[in-house]
Amino acid sequence: MVVVETKALNALEPFLLLSRSITSPRAAADLVTRATSAPNTYIFAELLQTPQVQALKNSEEYASHLSLLSIFSHGTYQTYHATPNLPPLNDAQTLKLRQLSLLTLARDRSNLSYAVLQGALGLSHARQLEDLVIKAVYEGLLHATLDPARQAIEVTSISPLRDLQPGSVPAMTMVLNSWSDRCISTIGDIEARINAIRANAAARAKEERAAGDDVNDSAGDPQESDKADVPGDEGLPKRGLNKRSMLEVGNLAAGETMELDEQLRADESAKRASKRKM
Q: pLDDT by residue (tens digit) across 44-91?
A: 999 999 999 999 999 999 999 999 999 999 999 999 999 999 999 999
Look at residue 240 and tell me whether its pLDDT is greater than 50. no
C-alpha distances (whole Å) from 69 to each of 13, 132, 190, 257 are 16, 22, 48, 134
Closest CA to 41 of 33, 51, 49: 33
Closest C-alpha among 80, 60, 18, 21 to residue 32: 18
Task: Determine phi and psi for 154, rounding to 5 degrees.
Answer: -105, 115
Task: Please give the mean pLDDT across all residues of the chain.
Answer: 82
Contact between 94 and 50 (Cβ < 8 Å): no
Q: What is the spatial distance between Cα 245 and Cα 249, in angstroms, rounded to a whole number?
A: 6
Instruction: Using DSSP, state whether 154 is helix, strand or coil.
Output: strand
**Mean pLDDT within 210-231:** 62
Whether residue 28 contacts residue 62, with contact meaning beta carbons closer than 8 Å, is answered with yes
State phi, psi for 87 to the nearest 5 degrees.
Answer: -60, 150
pLDDT higher than threshold 60 for residue 19: yes
Contact 47, 8 (CB under 8 A): no
Inform me whether the pLDDT recorded for 117 exceeds 90.
yes
Work out the number of other CB atoms within 10 angstroms of the CB of residue 38: 15
Would you place residue 221 in the very low, low, confident or very high pLDDT band (cuts 50, 70, 90)?
Answer: low
Residues in the chain: 278
SS3 assignment, position 144? strand
| pLDDT at position 261 | 59
Closest CA to 98 of 36, 163, 143: 36
Among 69-78, 183-192, 258-267, top mean pLDDT goes to 69-78
d(CA 251, CA 245): 10
CA dist., res. 158 & res. 141, Å (int): 6
Q: Which residues of 161-179 are buried (b: 16+ CB within 10 A; e: fewer)?
A: bbbeeeeeeeeeeeeeeee
Q: What is the pLDDT of residue 91?
A: 97
Residues in contact with 130: Cβ distance below 8 Å, sequence separation at least 6, in sequence order: 146, 148
pLDDT at 236: 47
